[in-house]
Amino acid sequence: MSTATEAASGEIHDADEAHDDHDHGLSDFGYIKVALLLGVLTAAEVLLYFVDTGPIEVPGLLILMVVKFWIVVAYFMHLRFDSKLFTWMFVGGMVLALAVYAAMGTSMLFWTDPAGCDLSPNLNC
C-alpha cells in the first residue's frame, strides 16, 4: 500500500511539475530573442518585397508569414507549453475558416461571369 501511495504521490508531484511547465514558457531573455527573430523575419519580408526575386517572391513571403505566425502563437501565446485542447480550439477555427473561404473563393471563380462581376445580372458592384 505504501508503495502504491508513494508512487501515486510521485505522479502527483510529476503532474504539478508538468503544470508548472505549462505556466512558465520561456524566460524574459528567451522572449527577447524570439522578438529579435521576428524582427529579422519582418526585415526579410520587406527585403523580398523590394528586391526582385522573381518566382520565389510570393512563396517566400507566404513561408515567412506562416513562420512568424507560428512563432507568435507557439511562444508568445504559450500554445507550445499549454494544453493541446487550446491548440485544437484555435487550429479548428483556422482550418474551418480556410476551408469555408477556399470553397467560397473557388465557387466564385467557377461561377463568375467574365464580362460582369457576379452571378446576378442585376447586382451591381
Partner 1 sequence: MTDTPTTAGTAAAVEPAEGDDPQIAYPRTEWDDYEIVPPTTSLSNEKLTMWTFLGSDCLLFGALISTYLLLRNRQPLSGEESLRAADLFDIPFTSVSSFVLLMSSLTMVLAVSAIARGEMERCKLWLLTTAAQGAVFIAGQVYEFTSFYREGLGFTVSISSSAFYTLTGFHGVHVSLGIIMLVTLWAMVNRGIIGPERAETVEIIGLYWHFVDIVWIVIFAVVYLIP
Q: Which residues of the shown chain bind partner 1 in the complex (CB under 8 A)?
A: 1, 4-5, 7-8, 11-12, 15, 19, 23-25, 28, 31-32, 34-35, 38-39, 42, 45-46, 48-50, 57-58, 61-62, 64-65, 68-69, 72-73, 75-78, 83, 85-86, 89-94, 96-98, 100-101, 104-105, 108, 116-117, 124-125
How far apart, in whole angstroms, are the C-alpha atoms of residue 45 and residue 67?
Answer: 11
Q: How far is the CB of 21 from partner 1 (least distance, A)?
A: 13
Query: Is the CB of 100 or the CB of 119 nearer to partner 1?
Result: 100
Q: Which three cell numbers stand for residue 115?
A: 464580362
Q: How far is the CB of 16 from partner 1 (least distance, A)?
A: 8
Q: How far is the CB of 119 from partner 1 (least distance, A)?
A: 13
Query: Is the CB of 49 or the CB of 119 nearer to partner 1?
Result: 49
Q: Which three cell numbers stand for residue 83?
A: 494544453
Q: How many CB atoms lie within 10 A of CB 115?
A: 6
Q: How far is the CB of 50 from partner 1 (least distance, A)?
A: 8
Amino acid at 106: T
Q: Which residues of 21-55 are buried (b: 16+ CB within 10 A; e: fewer)?
A: eeeebeeeeeeeebeeebeeeeeeeeebeeeeeee
Query: Is the CB of 101 or the CB of 119 nearer to partner 1?
Result: 101
How far apart, in whole angstroms, are the C-alpha atoms of residue 8 and residue 73?
Answer: 34
